[in-house]
Structure 1
Amino acid sequence: MGGAVERKNMTAISKLRALNSLVARSAGVFMRDVGAGLLEVSHNSLALLGLCVVAAAVFAGGRADVRDSIEQQALGWLLARQEAREPVSPVTELAEPDAVARATAVDLNALPRQQKAVVQWLSRRYRVAPEPVGALVQEAWQVGQRTGIEPTLILAVMAIESSFNPFAQSPVGAQGLMQVMTRIHDDKYEAFGGTRAAFDPVTNLRVGALVLKECIARAGSLEAGLRHYVGAATLGEDGGYVVKVLAEQLNLRRVADGKLVAVNTPLPSAASAAAAVAAPAETSTPKPAAEQVALLR
């Protein structure tokens, strides 16, 4: 009895081993077939890809426009990769291509001969860059035509008041190129966006010209108007202010007329300055600030 059971067990084990061997052989055959199929497919795909590449190269070689396009795209890709690897420079981060629009400067070659001569003389005399001075000279000529004030007088006041420093401020609060008392003439700055425009060179020039025109009209003469402008109307002495302004205007007139004037020319005496820079008195009633500002816009 025991021998029969043992024989049955041995038979079952033999069948199981045979079945395992058969499964193993079948799996091996299946894997070999799959591998061969994948190898065949990959070979065919690579061949097809190669044929596509060759065809594209032949087509591009015969078309100059296509070839150039491919080259440009490849170059752009390479540059983009290079920029991605390189750190961004501070100049690139702070760049503002339109910043030049804020600059108060002009091309000197665009100015008339008379204005260009004045610019070059003022630039050397006051040691400031000619391009921004050129913008101020150009503006002084335009404002002078609108207000009836000689542009050389506007520039002379600017020179004596601030030496062409647009951020100058006096102990009593006069500000900017023409040292306008901002808190007193704040109404004139309303048309330019507010009192901080006092530090915009062009705006300060325009408002200063309006204030100067008012002072001359109120005082009745150029000399008296300048004393009003500097705040010395009720004082017996203006510290030589009027003489300096008139002397500098004389220099600027001579430069504008094409005469040679040394940049270190000292101020002449009060008598010669007053005689050389005589101007007709303006006695008209000053217009309201809003109407005067409209002349300059």
Structure 2
Amino acid sequence: MLRLTRGSLVLLGLLLALAAFALATQPQLRDGIESRALAWLLERQMSAFGVAVDPQAIDRVTVSDPQALPDEQERVANWLSRKYRVAKEPMSALVAEAFVVGKQLDLDPKLILAVMAMESRFNPFAASPVGAQGLMQVMTRVHSAKLEDFGGNMAVFDPLTNLRVGAMILRDTIRRSGSIEGGLRLYVGAVSTDGRWYIDRVLSERDRLHRVAAGQNVGFNAPQRRTGLSTASASNPPAVSEAAQMQAPARESDAVAPASMEHPPIPAAEQAAKAPPVSPSPEPVQRLDTPYPGTPYPAA
């Protein structure tokens, strides 16, 4: 019995040594065994918990390490994360992408982030009654050609895809109008009003982000800029729809912010000279209604 046991152990050792040598010299054989072993383990987990597991799920998550960002981007990501109550990791990915896309399109990344904040409050699944969808409320039926390069209309709900397409649309509207204010008016699709409420909110948020990026301590509800009104507009202010009022809750202070040395406000006369005439666009660029109504701002 002792001799038989000893011989069996020697034979088993030889077999294990041959198997190890074969796995080391045959990568295809090793990969096949690992795949079958992983499939078997997954089946065991499914039978035990009743839920399908997916080890590759992490590859589909849009996140980034906040500490891996440059200081300027990290400050912006942390501020936006706290204001809009979004986790730092996905917000960091959006901020980093906005800076990359902004450099490619020669567009201010803080403007991209400000539009995103006003349009959806960083909700990648936001949708408006008129069909605007995603972070930057892209009109899928109008801009389906741009989405084809990303796999189709359903890609509008991918955060990075929506950011890229929305930034391209914003760049095009600014070029068509000749100014940032005019581009924002076209982007929001303001045809019944001059869109001044939207322009003020977006540019105010952009100015706050500029100050945050520079290291200043900026409150969430820092004073909002006010575009100068003409006499006719002041006496007869344009009517704002109920949906627009929901989009622009009266939580900002009515006081005028002190002029920033880095980003001084544009004089009203210069804005009036640069702003294009308010008229309906010959073809819709974004949408013909107000953007997605977000929830009220959190308290400062």
Distance in structure 2 (CA, Å) of the matches to 1:149 and 1:115: 16
What is the CA deviation profile of residues 126-185 of structure 1, one whole-angstrom value per residue up to 9, with x for unaligned ones? 001111111110000000001011000000000000000011111111111001111111
Residue 116 (structure 1) shift: 0.7
**Aligned equivalent of 2:49, options 61, 71, 90:** 90
Q: CA-atom RMSD, angstroms? A: 3.4
Distance in structure 2 (CA, Å) of the matches to 1:90 and 1:277: 59
The one-letter amino acid paired with 1:101 is D
The one-letter amino acid paired with 1:204 is N
1:207-226 pair list within 5 angstroms = 207-226=165-184
Q: Is the 8 A contact 1:161 1:178 kept in 2?
A: yes
Q: Scaled by the length of structure 1, what TM-score is found?
A: 0.64
1:1-20 pair list within 5 angstroms = none
Q: Is the 8 A contact 1:250 1:276 kept in 2?
A: no
Distance in structure 1 (CA, Å) of the matches to 2:45 and 2:174: 63
**Aligned equivalent of 1:235, options 181, 186, 192:** 192
What is the CA deviation profile of residues 15-40 of structure 1, one whole-angstrom value per residue up to 9, with x for unaligned ones? xxxxxxxxxxxxxxxxxxxxxxxxxx
Distance in structure 1 (CA, Å) of the matches to 2:139 and 2:9: 76
Q: Of the two structures, which has the highest relative contact order with CA contacts closer than 8 Å and spacing of 6 or more?
A: 2
Residue 53 (structure 1) shift: 2.5
1:261 corresponds to 2:218: yes
Q: Is the 8 A contact 2:46 2:53 kept in 1?
A: no
The one-letter amino acid paired with 1:50 is L
Distance change in 2, residues 1:139/1:277 (3 Å): farther
Distance change in 2, residues 1:88/1:52 (3 Å): same
Give the paired residue count.
216
Distance in structure 2 (CA, Å) of the matches to 1:163 and 1:86: 38
The one-letter amino acid paired with 1:276 is P
What is the CA deviation profile of residues 217-271 of structure 1, one whole-angstrom value per residue up to 9, with x for unaligned ones? 1111110110010001x43432610000000000101111111112343534335
**Aligned equivalent of 2:264, options 240, 258, 276:** 276
Greater displacement, 126-135 / 50-59: 50-59
The one-letter amino acid paired with 1:129 is A
Q: Is the 8 A contact 2:196 2:227 kept in 1?
A: no
**Aligned equivalent of 2:91, options 133, 138, 145:** 133
| Alignment-derived partner of residue 115 in structure 1 | 73
1:202 corresponds to 2:160: yes
Q: Scaled by the length of structure 2, what TM-score is found?
A: 0.63
Distance change in 2, residues 1:229/1:87 (3 Å): closer
Q: Is the 8 A contact 1:189 1:197 kept in 2?
A: yes
| Alignment-derived partner of residue 4 in structure 2 | 52
What is the CA deviation profile of residues 79-117 of structure 1, one whole-angstrom value per residue up to 9, with x for unaligned ones? xxxx999993327x5211111110011111211111111
Q: Which has the higher helix share?
A: 1
Where does structure 1 lack aligned partners over 5 or more consecutive residues?
A: 1-48, 70-82, 284-297
| Alignment-derived partner of residue 166 in structure 1 | 124
Distance change in 2, residues 1:277/1:97 (3 Å): farther
Q: Which has the larger radius of gyration?
A: 1
Q: Is the 8 A contact 2:185 2:194 kept in 1?
A: no
Distance change in 2, residues 1:184/1:98 (3 Å): same
Match of 1:187, SS? helix
Distance in structure 1 (CA, Å) of the matches to 2:172 and 2:6: 85
Distance in structure 2 (CA, Å) of the matches to 1:199 and 1:175: 7
Q: Is the 8 A contact 1:123 1:129 kept in 2?
A: yes
**Aligned equivalent of 1:246, options 185, 198, 203:** 203
What is the CA deviation profile of residues 26-66 of structure 1, one whole-angstrom value per residue up to 9, with x for unaligned ones? xxxxxxxxxxxxxxxxxxxxxxx233326778999xxxx99
Match of 1:276, SS? coil
Distance in structure 1 (CA, Å) of the matches to 2:49 and 2:61: 22
Distance in structure 1 (CA, Å) of the matches to 2:172 and 2:44: 63
Distance change in 2, residues 1:195/1:85 (3 Å): closer
User: Share of identical aligned residues, percent?
Assistant: 48
The one-letter amino acid paired with 2:215 is G
The one-letter amino acid paired with 1:167 is F
Distance change in 2, residues 1:56/1:260 (3 Å): same
